[in-house]
Amino acid sequence: MKIVAGLFLCGALLAVFALVAGQPRVLATRPAEATLQEQIVAKERQELDALKTGDKQAFADLLADDAVFLDPRGTGTKAEVVAHVSDFRLLEYLMEDIKFVPLSERSGLIAYKLTEKGSAHGREFSAKVYASAIWARRGEKWLCIFSQETPAREVPAQ
């Protein structure tokens, strides 16, 4: 009798296993990690948003200590750039025509047209510039290691 009950139990377990094995399985999936381009564009937006909210510390935390900045006046260091944004606030910005070049698995370059409105040193401004930035993942942190802005030249209508 024990043998029959044991065989019955084994048969029942095999039947349940066969039913479960034949069913489509729903596996828990985690959201796909953002692509390298998406991560870098998001960091560039985070940097611009810090300038919009006036969060100088958040802005500084996104910059590498050895970063190089370039604009029509020349080069600048992180300390110089952070000092200059103390009286700078973006009111709105628009990133357009974003181009991306991966440099490694942990770095990339973006270039885009930036239309911005803001205030600096008590004066409102609006500008269109071509910007580029190189972002690198150092340890677990994304940092801007290079940034450049060139004023966009308006091409006269023909």
**Per-residue pLDDT tens over the stretch 40-73:** 999 999 999 999 999 999 999 999 999 999 999 9
For residues 121 and 128, what is the distance between their CA atoms, to the nearest angstrom?
19
Fold of 36-151: Nuclear Transport Factor 2; Chain: A, (3.10.450)
SS3 49: helix
First to last CA, the chain: 100
- pLDDT of 27 reads 40
At residue 48, what is the residue type?
L
For residues 89 and 50, what is the distance between their CA atoms, to the nearest angstrom?
9
**What confidence tens digit (pLDDT) does each residue in 72-108 have?**
999 999 999 999 888 899 999 999 999 999 999 999 9
For residues 111 and 113, what is the distance between their CA atoms, to the nearest angstrom?
7
- Model's pTM, two decimal places? 0.76
pLDDT (average), residues 21-28:
41
- pLDDT of 156 reads 73
